[in-house]
Structure 1
């Protein structure tokens, strides 16, 4: 008997359109002989099932069911394709745990920690994982530009602490740039992180649970046509994404070992994608994504293909793992 799978997409953040694209790829790709797929749009003002005629049916939040033409439908599993809040920050993971509904991403605590760049880096540093120098600001704090520059140097990156897809990220070259960069970051979050510029080869590493085991996917080298790997580079084709990356055997082993260690230290599940820059020959962690993009332009699907894993098999494995 085919299982009903709810593919959640949308969300409350600036990444909602990317999430809709990812969710639709999952919807189109899931094995129709095994699963009945349902597109569930989750926005602040509505949670609805959207059918192929774009009719909307409200979700009952008591048990995450939907009534369609008088018939109540429940789900065996939720496939999480929401980037940003509330699908990547732990809120929906907690909700589904409370109503005992399996879902494909990591657990609530892991989602909350990895979504908070500052907290995640703080947890990983004692394990010897190298990162950029950083300076933290909360909305309302006094901004001491000289202290920032003394700590992280110039140029530096100013980032929203809890945001994805490079929303709220700018590169500040001189002291005069900091004010506008900080204002830009605060539009996305009330906490920001300012990091030193790491000059080196940037790579993205997918680590997933696949057929019951932790698997590191082929590494992708990021060569942005822009100043850094920003939104346009990620989604509008303004970058080269080279899989497998042009690394030495030593570099490849270093970053593979590190990415797997990060995944296991944090007790991750499901899909993840982490970014690293090689500085002085060693990989430095930038951030971790626990609901990576699944659009045609996204990196994880490219890496899966390089590993000989079809999208249908990738998505199927995520559901099988969630149902265990």
Structure 2
């Protein structure tokens, strides 16, 4: 019997448009012989099921169900394709855990932890996973540009702590540029992380649960035409994403080990895509994404393809893994 799958997409952040694209790709590639898929848009002003004709039908939030033709449809599993809040910060995970509905991403705690760059890197540091020197600010804190430069040096990166797709990030070369960069980051979040610039090869490593096992996907090297891997580089063709990465066997072995170790230490489920920069042969972690882009051009699907995993198999495995956890 076919399972009813809700593919949730959209969200409350600047990443909503990208998430809608990811969700539609998931729907397009789900095996229609095994699943009935329903595109559910989770937006600040509405939660709606959008049918094949484009008509919107309200979601009953009490039980996460829809009634498009008068007959109530409940879901066997939720495929989470929301980038940013509330799909990547633990809110939707908590909601579905309360309703006892399986969902494809990691659990609420892991989602909240990984979405918070400062907390993630602090936790993993205790296990020997390296990251750049950093300085933290919260909205309302005094801004001591001298102290910032003393801690992280120049150039440095100013980032919104809880944001993705490079929203709210700036590369700063001069001390007098810091306040403008901080103001820009505060547009996305009330917490900021300022990090030392790491000058090395940048790579992205996907780790997933696939057919019941933890699998590290082929490594992608990021080569940007811009000053760093910003929104334009990620989504508007201003970068090369080279899979497999042009790194040494030692570097490849080391970053695979660190990425898998982080995934397992945090007791992750579903997909993750972690970003690293090499200093010599040592990978320094930048962040971990738990609902990465899922369009045909996105990095994790590219990696899966090189590994011989098609999108139908990639998405189906995530659903079956979630169902097996119920």
* TM-score with structure 1 setting the length: 0.99
Q: Could you give the per-residue CA deviations for residues 65-116 of structure 1, whole angstroms, max 9, x where no partner exists?
A: 0011211001100000000000000000000000000000000000000000
| Deviation at residue 175 of structure 1 after TM alignment | 0.5
Determine helix, strand or coil for the equivalent of 2:126: helix
Any runs of at least 4 consecutive aligned residues in structure 1 with deviations exceeding 6 A, and if so which?
Answer: none
Indicate the residue corresponding to 1:277 in structure 2.
277
Instruction: Show the counterpart of 1:166.
Output: 166
* 1:120 matches 2:128: no
Distance 1:27 1:219 in 2: 26
Partners of 2:250 and 2:281 within 8 A in 1:
no
Distance 1:152 1:160 in 2: 16
How many residue pairs are counted as aligned between the two chains? 324
CA contact (8 A) 1:235 1:297 kept: no
**Whole-angstrom CA distance in 1 between matches of 2:296 and 2:310:** 13
* Distance (whole Å) between structure 2 residues aligned to residue 217 and residue 276 of structure 1: 14
Query: Is 1:135 the counterpart of 2:135 in the alignment?
Result: yes
Q: What corresponds to 2:28 in structure 1?
A: 28
Question: 1:176, CA displacement in angstroms?
Answer: 1.1
TM-score normalised by the chain length of structure 2: 0.99
Cα separation, 1, equivalents of 2:169 and 2:114: 17
RMSD over aligned CA atoms reads 0.5
How far the C-alpha of 1:280 sits from its partner, in A, is: 2.9
Query: 1:17-54: per-residue Cα shift (whole Å, max 9, x none)?
Result: 00000000001000001100100000111000000111
For residues 231-310 of structure 1, the aligned pairs below 5 Å read 231-310=231-310
Instruction: Encode CA deviations 1:134-164: one digit per residue, 9 max, x unaligned.
Output: 0000000000000000000000000000000
Shift of 1:297: 2.2
Deviates more, 1:161-170 or 1:289-298: 289-298
* Ranges in structure 1 where 5+ consecutive residues have no aligned partner: none
Q: Following the alignment from structure 1 to structure 2, what is the Cα–Cα distance between the partners of residues 296 and 238?
A: 17
